[in-house]
Chain A
Amino acid sequence: MTGFVMRRIMMVFPVMGFVALFVFLLLHLGPGDPAAIIAGDHATPEKLAEIRAAHNLDQPIPWQFMTWIAHVLHGDLGTSLLSGLPVTTLIASRLEPTLVLAFLTLAFSTAVALPLGALAACKRDGIIDKLATGYCVLGTSVPFFVVAYFLVLVFAIELRLLPVQGYPDAADGFGNLLLHLVLPVATLSVPVIALVTRTVKTALLDVLSEDHVRTARAKGISEASVIVFHGLRNAALPIVTVLGNIFALLIGGVVVTESIFNLPGIGRLTVDAVLARDYPIVQGIILLAGAAHVLLNLAVDLLYLKFDPRVRYQ
């Protein structure tokens, strides 16, 4: 088991290496002079020379990569071209809203999707199943960012139940903060609920068609126990795996949602940085997002290890 854990943990390094390589190559394989891209709009020749020197752009590419990696390993992701602040500081100051939004969305979506998917799987072709199936397709088809405007129109402008936008300081009242996040979470949940519901339903159907569920029924235990202890419990791992994969979707949604609802998170930082050609920020964010995703997958796999005795055994 420890061998497996070690091997799994060791796997993180090559993957992260590749992530770093891609992020690095993104700048270097694209058309145009990397220095010009980094320099952005203030591209005086002196500035370019300065940037070339600072980023070792006159060195051979592998060497550049190595030095860049060395900087990254020391926690140095460079400084923003526009504001002059360290990229790490900028990212750190923007993490909270994104994490809160992502977590609440995941929590809310799971809370809705788990029972919905389970009901759909248990009562196949029933009315709930039909509605849920319809929603699963529609929820991922509809451009959810359009939904945001209608939610705002109805709940914030017409009914005045909820705030339109913004991310107040949590110190000024956690309730107030949550209130501001209701609409963003609802928006972002549109596709996420669809995906999770679909996952839950598929996973549960899979498990419920397995032989051991029939065995459980043959024991004469209640149907609820069968569904919960033999169905959902066994379906939990595949569901968690997919939840790990939803990360990417969530990040994508967060970028859009933050722009609409004016949440000062990573997503807006990214869009701003991209529009402003603030390349070090873009690079830093992609690298960190990649790292987060890799670690998340590691966590999911280790969770497997903890909860699936078969994996543990090998």
Chain B
Amino acid sequence: MSQPLLQLHGLSASQRDGRKLGRPVLKDVSLHLDKGETLCVVGRSGAGKSLTALAVMGLMPPRDMAITGGAIRLQGEDLLNANPKRLRQLRGPRMAMVFQEPMTALNPLMTIGRQIEETLAGHGVTARRERAIEMLKRVGLSGAARFHAAFPHELSGGQRQRAMIAMALILKPLLLIADEPTTALDVLTQKQILGLLRELTAEAGTAIVYITHDMGVVADIADRVAVMHHGRILETGAAADVLAHPQCAVTRALIAAGTDISVKPQNKNLSGEPVLTVEGLVKTYEAGKSLRRNGETIGAVRGISLSLRSGRTLGIIGETGSGKTTIARSIMRLTDPDSGTIHVGGTELTALSGLRLKPYRKKVQIVFQDPYRSLNPRRTIGQSISEGPCNYGLCRKTARERAQRLLTLVGLTEDVIDLYPHQFSGGERQRIALARALALEPLALIADEPVSALDMATQATVLQLLRDIQEKTGVAIMLITHDLRVAAQMCDDIALLRAGRIVESGSAAQLFSAPQTAYARALLNALPGRPAKHDNKRRASG
């Protein structure tokens, strides 16, 4: 076939507000994709990857975005000038899309079966029920009839994404656009979904445009790769070439962040005294109030013991819902544990509350995951940082001076003290949050997924900052993360969590080099872009 399956030529788009055009969001994007090929579009958030995909599908929000130039051709057919009816005919049989959030991308009030059948009905296909069930089987949802009648919320994230894939592929499209389909999923599930995609598209010869920010995924599945940045294509090429010889800095940064695990060098400070000890911590949620998934209460903690030593970093690693955050919240007494003890500097905390708890609160501080929500938008960052010291009786002036000092410590300048949070980027806000936590000069710092909301490049600088601060202040850090790479870079000790229990713990070096449990091994294997060391690649995808 001489012409490519999909060709984007000089595609440009801008934000719009009514009739006015705003900031350009896509600038001269040119891409092409051949039949059966897998193209990964990589880039940081806001690079224009998703918009490109939506433009192809003709689903760009018409009120907010306008295409200002260029052409999109599918099998030579001009999509930008196709009428809506023609576009509808193409969507489904020719091109299909899988979205990032399988929960919101499915209609919550409609059964999975009906949503799949709707695609068929829209294109005049009969024997819909049979075909839908058949497709559900093929995406690995065993007991397909049950899934056919299920509503989206009754499924787990992975199952939902399988259903999405079933929906997208049921008409055997020539082109599948997958927009970060696994970002919201755990590594293990991610691996399965990737395998499934590969398998199904290979059978039908479907070409894939795969949008991701994760170079590891690229290494796993891409034939070719296109790197986007600020609405532009920076470089394209065969996946192997780009990974091996990245041309530009952005690509290199992405590769650095995403491809391999670098384990932190041994921490010499072995003798750090324990500042925080948790024994037999149990916290379960009432059935009525929790989110339940497949009958299993998530987020519960079922008997955790750990201890944090000054000057060292303990990593709590686990998938979503394994109870990591519950541990943090219990220690911070944002939630009351059912049983177990928490000792901070020798004092048992679970029995204390209110004013009696206050003197100990300052000894442990926390940095939350989401820097956009953890700062009060209506208070200046100076007020936010000095709030803690003020609560403990420090006079305003001193607290403000301390805030200024801390701002320098976390790599910002003193003169930003009277600005409001919205004037900062995510990474900067996380630094401010860190400064706020440090303002109370805690013995221990809990960092709950401190970088997962940040893009790769920013992640690295924030993590570096954490390490520096530990070096300067000797604070003990409990780092909660789902990301093995982050853990590897940061932690001296690791506790691997699964369903509320610690399945493996020990030094980081040991865990990453010689994992003891099957679960740990599986997790390591599932990391995208890693050559399979401990297991067989094919099997894992099955």
Contact = CB atoms under 8 A, between A and B. Distances in A.
Interface of A: 3, 124-125, 210-212, 214-223, 225, 229-230, 233-234, 307-310, 313-314
A219 B91 contact: yes
A219 B108 contact: no
B115 to A, nearest CB: 8
Given A220-B91, A225-B118, 10 more contacts: A124-B63, A211-B99, A211-B101, A212-B104, A219-B96, A220-B88, A221-B118, A221-B119, A233-B110, A309-B154
A210 B108 CA distance: 11
B43 to A, nearest CB: 21
A119 B109 CA distance: 22
Listed residue (A211, A218, A225, A233) with the most chain B CB atoms within 10 angstroms of its CB: A218
Contact of A220 (B93, B101, B105, B154): B93
Contacts of B151: 309-310, 313
Interface string B375-410: 000000000000000000000000000000000000
Contact of B57 (A216, A218, A225, A230): A218
A220 B99 contact: no
A234 B109 contact: yes
Given A214-B59, A234-B109, A307-B109, A220 B288 contact: no
B122 interface: yes
A220 B122 contact: yes
Given A221-B119, A313-B154, A215 B88 contact: no
B248 interface: no
Contacts of A215: 97, 99, 105-107, 164, 167
Nearest to B154: A313
Contacts of A309: 108-109, 151, 153-154
Interface in B44-102: 57, 59, 63, 84, 87-93, 96-97, 99, 101
B109 A218 contact: no
A233 B96 CA distance: 24
Contacts of B88: 220-223
Contacts of A222: 88, 122
A164 to B, nearest CB: 47
A270 to B, nearest CB: 40
B150 to A, nearest CB: 9
B521 interface: no
Nearest to A309: B151
B121 interface: yes
Contacts of B153: 309-310, 313
Given A219-B92, A220-B93, A229 B122 contact: no
Contacts of B84: 223
Contacts of B87: 220
Contact of B96 (A210, A212, A218, A221): A218
5 contacts: A215-B164, A218-B59, A220-B123, A222-B122, A310-B151
B302 to A, nearest CB: 23
Contact of A219 (B63, B101, B104, B118): B118
Contacts of A124: 63
A225 B122 contact: yes
Interface residues of B, number: 35
B468 to A, nearest CB: 40
Contacts of B121: 221
Contacts of A234: 107-109
A212 B288 contact: no
B105 A211 contact: yes
A229 B118 contact: yes
A201 to B, nearest CB: 15
A230 B107 contact: yes
Contacts of B93: 220
Given A223-B84, A225-B118, A216 B123 contact: no
Contacts of A3: 288
A230 B118 CA distance: 11
A234 B110 CA distance: 9
Given A234-B109, A307-B109, A310-B153, A220 B59 contact: no
B66 to A, nearest CB: 15
B122 A221 contact: yes
Nearest to B177: A218
A308 B108 CA distance: 8
Nearest to A213: B107
Nearest to B120: A219
Contacts of A220: 87-93, 119, 122-123
Contacts of B91: 217-220
Listed residue (B87, B118, B168, B288) with the most chain A CB atoms within 10 angstroms of its CB: B118
Nearest to A217: B59
A219 B122 contact: yes
A212 B106 contact: yes
A184 B43 CA distance: 62
Nearest to B62: A124
Contacts of B99: 211, 214-215, 218
B48 to A, nearest CB: 17
A124 B119 CA distance: 26
Given A211-B99, A310-B151, A310-B153, A216 B288 contact: no
B296 to A, nearest CB: 15
A205 to B, nearest CB: 11
B118 A308 contact: no
A217 B91 CA distance: 8
B237 to A, nearest CB: 29
B154 A219 contact: no
Task: Give the top 4 A-B pairs by smallest Cβ distance, nearest first.
Answer: A220-B91, A221-B122, A220-B92, A211-B104
A307 B99 CA distance: 26
A229 B123 CA distance: 16
Interface in B126-169: 151, 153-154, 164, 167-168
Contact of A214 (B105, B154, B168): B105
A212 B57 contact: no
Listed residue (B88, B91, B92, B109) with the most chain A CB atoms within 10 angstroms of its CB: B109
Contacts of A221: 88, 118-119, 121-122
A229 B119 CA distance: 13
Nearest to A209: B61
A160 B205 CA distance: 74
A227 to B, nearest CB: 13
Listed residue (A212, A214, A215, A217) with the most chain B CB atoms within 10 angstroms of its CB: A215
A310 B118 contact: no
A64 B122 CA distance: 66
A308 B104 contact: no
A202 to B, nearest CB: 16
B291 to A, nearest CB: 9
A237 to B, nearest CB: 8
A219 B106 CA distance: 12
A219 B167 contact: yes
